[in-house]
């Protein structure tokens, strides 16, 4: 299949902890199938910048230091999914974050997305990238960032030629605050608590497929392409875990 060729792959949801490689895989999927990658963070920023009615509401809420409520986030997502580029399908990154949002998304897609063009399509295929906890810690805590231009290394998997020195410009490499082990552990704990109900929601519906994120990036990509292109055949099972 030629990259950038739009085909009706339908909705795709990616789940996985920080460091699992969701961003890399989402970009590859979007390029291969010619579908948009949709991030709730991007949607929120776009609405605020454009001064849309939803954006103005969100801006006022954030100015008070409060979280943007589910109904407002869902309305923004609905508006984005109604745009023409989503017709062949789309990748949702960072949504749904709760089981309630997952239920809302199913209802929205059943009522609005699956018109005659999508009569033969299934509800979203949900791909979870599973990565060993200790490997995640290595990926995240091993990260070092160049002070001058932001080049990124990993002391375990992609070290610089000289310790703590950028190969490109010779500047110092530092550990960002977000990459400290105590911060990472809290992030992983929060992710697990927040998203486990989402995974359980889709598992109960037989739509959660796990791929092995410990493999090299290209192999993880290959697993994902297989799942997407055999969507109807893999619901309720995982060819990569035997589940």
Q: Where are the domains of the chain?
A: 9-131+188-207, 133-175
Percent of the chain residues past pLDDT 70, beyond the cut: 88
Please give the Cα distance from 165 to 163 (Å, whole number). 6
Q: How confident is the model at residue 1 (pLDDT cuts 50, 70, 90)?
A: low
Q: How confident is the model at residue 239 (pLDDT cuts 50, 70, 90)?
A: very low
Q: Is 144 tagged catalytic?
A: no
For residue 138, pLDDT beyond 70: yes
Q: Is 196 tagged catalytic?
A: no
First to last CA, the chain: 28
For residue 81, pLDDT beyond 60: yes
Structure confidence at residue 74 (pLDDT): 94
Structure confidence at residue 34 (pLDDT): 93
Q: Please identify which residue in the block is written with the tokens 């789309």.
A: 90
What is the per-residue pLDDT across 21-50, written as a single tens digit (0 to 9) for each? 888 899 999 999 999 999 888 899 999 999
CATH class as words, domain 9-131+188-207: alpha beta
Catalytic residue among 59, 97, 135, 205: 97
pTM: 0.81
Structure confidence at residue 173 (pLDDT): 95
Structure confidence at residue 23 (pLDDT): 86
Catalytic residue among 28, 32, 80, 143: 143
Q: How confident is the model at residue 230 (pLDDT cuts 50, 70, 90)?
A: confident
Tell me how far the alpha carbon of residue 142 is from its chain's centroid: 22
Q: How confident is the model at residue 116 (pLDDT cuts 50, 70, 90)?
A: very low
For residue 5, pLDDT beyond 60: no
Structure confidence at residue 144 (pLDDT): 94
CA atoms within 13 A on the CB side of 73: 20
Q: Is 143 tagged catalytic?
A: yes
For residue 238, pLDDT beyond 70: no
- Mean pLDDT of all residues in 82-106: 91
Structure confidence at residue 236 (pLDDT): 46
Catalytic residue among 176, 180, 189, 196: 176
Q: Is 176 tagged catalytic?
A: yes
Q: Are 44 and 58 in contact (CB under 8 A)?
A: yes
Of the two residues 221 and 9, the one the predictor is more confident about is 221
| Greatest Cα pair distance in the chain | 59
What is the per-residue pLDDT across 56-77, written as a single tens digit (0 to 9) for each? 999 999 889 888 888 999 999 9
């Amino acid at each position: 299949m030629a990259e950038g060729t739009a085909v009706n792959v339908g909705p795709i949801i990616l789940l996985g902890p920080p460091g699992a490689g969701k961003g890399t895989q989402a970009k590859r999927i979007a390029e291969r199938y010619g579908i948009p990658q949709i991030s709730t963070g991007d949607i929120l920023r776009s609405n605020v910048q454009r001064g849309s009615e939803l954006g103005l509401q969100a801006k006022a809420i954030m100015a008070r230091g409060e979280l943007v409520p589910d109904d407002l986030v869902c309305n923004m997502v609905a508006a984005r999914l109604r745009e023409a580029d989503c017709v062949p399908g789309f990748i949702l990154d960072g949504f749904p974050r709760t089981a309630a949002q997952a239920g809302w998304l199913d209802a929205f897609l059943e009522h609005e997305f699956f018109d005659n063009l999508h009569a033969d399509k299934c509800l979203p295929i949900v791909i979870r990238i599973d990565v060993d906890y200790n490997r995640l810690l290595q990926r995240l805590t091993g990260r070092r960032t160049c002070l001058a231009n932001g080049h990124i290394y990993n002391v375990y998997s992609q070290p610089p030629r000289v310790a703590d020195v950028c190969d490109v410009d010779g500047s110092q490499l530092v550990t960002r605050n977000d990459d400290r082990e105590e911060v990472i552990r809290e992030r992983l704990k929060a992710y697990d608590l927040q998203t486990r109900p989402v995974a359980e929601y889709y598992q109960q519906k037989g739509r959660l497929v796990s791929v092995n994120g410990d493999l090299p990036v290209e192999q993880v990509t290959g697993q994902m392409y297989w799942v997407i292109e055999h969507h109807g055949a893999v619901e309720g099972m995982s060819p990569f875990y035997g589940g």
